[in-house]
Structure 1
Amino acid sequence: QLCLVGSEPSYRVKGYAYGGGGRRVTRVELSIDKGVTWRLANIDYAEDRYREAGRQQLYGGEMDLEWRENSFCWCFWNIDMTVSELAASNDLLVRAMDDSMNLQPRDMYWSVLGMMNNPWYRITISKENDYLRFEHPTQPALMPGGWMERVKKAGGNLTNGYWGERIEGGDAPEPVTEAAAEIKMTKHGLEKAITIDELRKHDGEDEPWFVVNGEVYDGTAFLKEHPGGATSIFSAAGLDSSDEFMAIHSDTAKTMMTDYHIGSLDEDGRTTLSTNDVQPAPSAIPSSKFLDSRSWKRATLHTKTTVSWDTRIFRFKLEHDAQTLGLPTGQHLMIRLRDPVTREAIIRSYTPISETSQEGFMDVLVKIYFDTKERKGGKMSLAMDSLPVGHFVEFKGPIGKFEYLGKGLCAVNGKERQINTFLMICAGSGITPIYQVFRAVMQDREDKTKCVVLDGNRLMEDILCKVDLDRFAKDNEEKCRLLYTLTQAPENWEGLKGRIAAPLLKEHAVREEFCEGEAMVLICGPEALEKSVHKALLEIGWKDEELMFF
């Protein structure tokens, strides 16, 4: 899959091809308009390296492939396509031709010489929120899945010349679609009823139970492995967490829930939980700290400040002037809004940029993802941008498994660690949790912890919090190294250029420079960046326990 948010303008499509019988593949073409037009891909034969090497003495013998014209290896091909073109297409077709002018056929037919199935190769493209999902015809080996299996289940005919799509008169063929199956989160055959009293017995840190869509789950077994930390499960114990869970978790996480399902909450229990939603009792005395990890609390939008064309700072008024937010350094909170039409909960996690000690207000930096021709904008950011001053917003927290305690001492899932150096890797609005930790280190003159910040963006104006980052770096040169990298840098740019990837990390995140347990890498950014950075860091010697993803 490809994340559309913060993605590069182009995407490299690549694959491999084989002709058989020593015949060399001479052309590989791709189409995104069902074969109306084709584009030529670049082809590379790894075995050509041996031909180009000429005569070589190897292992006591002579190697000479200069004269051989047959190609018995797979070739590798690639072509760069714009992300906008891919997003506008429903599928990607590939065909190859060899030096005997044998061309892959358009239609599928049974052929022994063609490996029984050798038509154009088709990959479907679907849009899922902020992602493009690429689906191959089948999955490897005997694994279920692939668009062919889906089309067959929906009754489509794969040999109709339109890849199983329906043909209705002279109109363009319509694809056979299958309604998205609801993800099963309950154990088959389990019909145990759980009362509200039973649930309340598990509303603490010992064997925490929580409710999603009326079903009860035991989170005990997942406390250590939960990406959001054990506190996020503790805060849900004994409560209905349907909105938070369904809005934030992936389909993969939802499928795992069957392992933790222990029963269904009875009707009386569901009624009781439905009345305990947002606010504490009106008679309750306002606390010194605003946030509550077990209930949603309301703050009022006080001002909106435009930072750039797509970035705003939202200032929210807390319950009283002397109240602080109550957010530990390095942790984040959840914001909840309701869709004005469907009343569906929209929930996202954010890290405020205001000082943790600030009284009466909190500031949240939000990047707005607007609608474009290629994709729909971000639900939460657009909803935030449309809020009028004076409107309330719901907050809950703190959440997160990391906390910076000061002077190099941090805690991960409650377990304290002493480190000497933070390597901070971020992109776009992923700077906000990094900034909180960075500021805490820089403001404490007695804190000798060193920080190396690698901040990636597209344009110079996309760099968020730059004025404050530069000021802290200038005042703390002995313990700070601040590195910006741009993918579309201006001519006079003196910083780094390119994406945050293996080459930059090999140069600026060298594992051998630190002793065991001496450094920790903090990472926050788009999912695609986090995955690529994770892989690159492991390849250069970092361990998973030394990496912290916000």
Structure 2
Amino acid sequence: MEDAKAYSLSEVSTHKSRTDVWIAIHGKVYNVSKYLDEHPGGIDAIMEVAGSDATTTFEDVGHSEDAREVMEQYFVGTVEGHVPTAPAVRGPAPPAAATVALAAPAANASSSTPASKPTHSPMTLLILGVPAAAILGYQLLVRMPGGHSVSGHGHGHSGGFWTGFLISSTLGTFVLATAIIRLEKAFSISRDIGSFPTHITPTNPVTVQVTTNKGVLNPKEYQRFPLARKEMMSPNVCLFVFRLPTPRSILGLPIGQHIAIRATVNGKQISRSYTPVSNNTDKGELRLAIKLYSNGQLTGGYLANLQIGDEVEFRGPKGTMRYRKGHFKQLGMICGGTGITPMFQLIRAICEDPADDTNISLLFANATENDIIMRDMLEEWRAKNPKQFKVWYKLDHPPEGWTYGKGYIAKDDILTRLPPPAAGTQILLCGPPGMVKGASKSLLELGYEKPNAVSKAADQVFLF
């Protein structure tokens, strides 16, 4: 690295054609021209940052360690004048259970706040003040010239009345004051706010159990899970069920995110991302619906040949989508084939949560009716939530009596079946590149925002 050639970002910016693509990441320059066709996110995702510093985009997507290793073979130099900084550390997930002890402070611990002086309540002052005033009044009375009454009327014998009145008032008030003071002490009402501690320290430490089942996934290390079951869901889509370490284990995958599978095929290490159709309520197993391509490096050459008991390497979570209840009021979904899997995860989370009132409109395209995977669950959720969840199917080759749409998803389908563009609306897309490209164009024409090649969870139009 010390002998690597240094390039200015201006020089990097001249390499941004489809046959000559350079990018900079964390002060390193890479020529990724030969990697375009192999990039799992597609060519457009790289072309959007071609000739620029792609560090932020690279980190936002959540690339794995494998991706970082792959990049090293395309390293050509460093960024001129780059000052290395400590990369953001994606720390490990919190432990399964954390114990927080709230212990009492040391007895001689000092406080920066001066102690408040004990004071009496206004009632106490009033009670003590009355007899004091009575005594003072009596003293004034007996010292008045001629011993006349305070009213100035009557004769000297009226002084006996006032003397008795003042003496009885004084004695009665003293008795009442004494009783109230004792009550104040009993109920601690004579202390002002400043005399109370800012918190009450328990005699014994309090132990609070914070239980968080973080799941078995590890974003930095691959783990091996054995295949427990597999079955065909459609002519070319297979359901793979993998067994987690224990019957009570959960995957620990945030809603909307995906995982990576790694395998060595014909001496070459291959990695692909998939969204599970199971979630954290499905204990002890991981379920994936994967379309098998005969010429697919991972699906045709590896997954299709898996036998029960074979172990597969997994890592995650991955992705920039992380569903948050209430973030959007309306979700519009456009998908084709196995592009339903990330949508399925979101639909399930919303429809199975009585407290989530997010409305969902789904456009689901397939070649034939037999290709519609997980239709039974979609129909069940629609029946239970008819106002909240709506679905419209489209088929290239519909059977006789088909009551839904025919052909590809068109602009009119989006206009009539999905919510209009608004601040509380998000559109999600996943499926074949041609479908996604066509739908993205239609959305733009209808007033939705242009989707980014690298989507973020808050985008109005999100591409999985």
TM-score (norm 1): 0.48
Whole-angstrom distance in 2 between the partners of 1:420 and 1:519: 6
Query: 1:310 corresponds to which residue?
Result: 236
Contact 1:288 1:322 in 2 (8 A): no
Contact 1:421 1:520 in 2 (8 A): yes
Query: 2:303 corresponds to which residue?
Result: 384
Q: Return closer, same or farther for 1:500/1:260 CA change in 2, 3 Å cut-off.
A: farther
Q: What is the SS of the residue equivalent to 1:404?
A: coil
Q: Return closer, same or farther for 1:462/1:231 CA change in 2, 3 Å cut-off.
A: same
Which shows bigger deviation, 300-309 or 450-459?
300-309
Whole-angstrom distance in 2 between the partners of 1:363 and 1:262: 47
- Read off the aligned partner of 2:460 and give its amino acid letter: E
Whole-angstrom distance in 2 between the partners of 1:258 and 1:534: 35
Residue deviations 1:196-217 (CA, integer Å, cap 9, x gap): xxxxxxxxxxxxxxxxxxxxxx
Query: 1:458 corresponds to which residue?
Result: 367
Query: 1:519 corresponds to which residue?
Result: 425
Question: For residues 92-491 of structure 1, what are the structure 2 equivalents within 5 Å?
Answer: 222=54, 224-226=56-58, 230=60, 232-233=62-63, 236=65, 241-243=68-70, 289-339=215-265, 341=266, 343-370=267-294, 377-382=295-300, 383-406=302-325, 408=326, 418-491=327-400
Q: Return closer, same or farther for 1:405/1:223 CA change in 2, 3 Å cut-off.
A: farther
Q: What is the SS of the residue equivalent to 1:379?
A: coil
- Read off the aligned partner of 1:434 and give its amino acid letter: M
**Percent of aligned pairs with the same residue?**
28
Question: What residue ranges of structure 2 are gaps of 5+ in the alignment?
Answer: 1-14, 30-51, 82-212, 451-458
> 1:443 Cα shift?
0.7
Task: Tell me which of the two structures has the higher relative contact order, counting C-alpha pairs closer than 8 angstroms and 6 or more residues apart.
Answer: 2
Contact 2:259 2:315 in 1 (8 A): yes
Larger radius of gyration: 2
Whole-angstrom distance in 2 between the partners of 1:401 and 1:534: 19
Whole-angstrom distance in 2 between the partners of 1:261 and 1:494: 59
Whole-angstrom distance in 1 between the partners of 2:223 and 2:449: 38
Contact 1:431 1:524 in 2 (8 A): yes
> 1:240 Cα shift?
7.2
> 1:260 Cα shift?
7.4
Residue deviations 1:473-507 (CA, integer Å, cap 9, x gap): 11000111111011111121001111012232233
Q: What is the SS of the residue equivalent to 2:62?
A: helix
> 1:259 Cα shift?
9.1
Q: What is the SS of the residue equivalent to 1:433?
A: helix
Contact 2:251 2:279 in 1 (8 A): no
Whole-angstrom distance in 1 between the partners of 2:390 and 2:329: 14
Contact 2:362 2:418 in 1 (8 A): no
The alignment of Structure 1 onto Structure 2 pairs a total of residues equal to 286
Question: For residues 82-93 of structure 1, what are the structure 2 equivalents within 5 Å?
Answer: none
> 1:334 Cα shift?
0.6
- Read off the aligned partner of 1:368 and give its amino acid letter: L
Q: Return closer, same or farther for 1:378/1:542 CA change in 2, 3 Å cut-off.
A: same
Confirm or deny that 1:546 pairs with 2:460.
yes
Whole-angstrom distance in 2 between the partners of 1:261 and 1:453: 46
- Read off the aligned partner of 1:230 and give its amino acid letter: D
Contact 2:225 2:312 in 1 (8 A): yes
Contact 1:325 1:357 in 2 (8 A): no
Cα RMSD (Å): 3.3
Q: What is the SS of the residue equivalent to 1:490?
A: coil
> 1:231 Cα shift?
5.5
Confirm or deny that 1:531 pairs with 2:442.
no
Q: Return closer, same or farther for 1:240/1:470 CA change in 2, 3 Å cut-off.
A: closer
Whole-angstrom distance in 1 between the partners of 2:290 and 2:246: 24
Query: 1:27 corresponds to which residue?
Result: none
- Read off the aligned partner of 1:463 and give its amino acid letter: I
Q: Return closer, same or farther for 1:543/1:184 CA change in 2, 3 Å cut-off.
A: closer
Whole-angstrom distance in 2 between the partners of 1:258 and 1:529: 36
Q: Return closer, same or farther for 1:240/1:328 CA change in 2, 3 Å cut-off.
A: closer
TM-score (norm 2): 0.56
Residue deviations 1:43-79 (CA, integer Å, cap 9, x gap): xxxxxxxxxxxxxxxxxxxxxxxxxxxxxxxxxxxxx
Whole-angstrom distance in 2 between the partners of 1:452 and 1:317: 33
- Whichever structure has more helix as a proportion of its residues is 2
Q: What is the SS of the residue equivalent to 2:324?
A: strand
> 1:509 Cα shift?
3.1
- Whichever structure has more strand as a proportion of its residues is 1
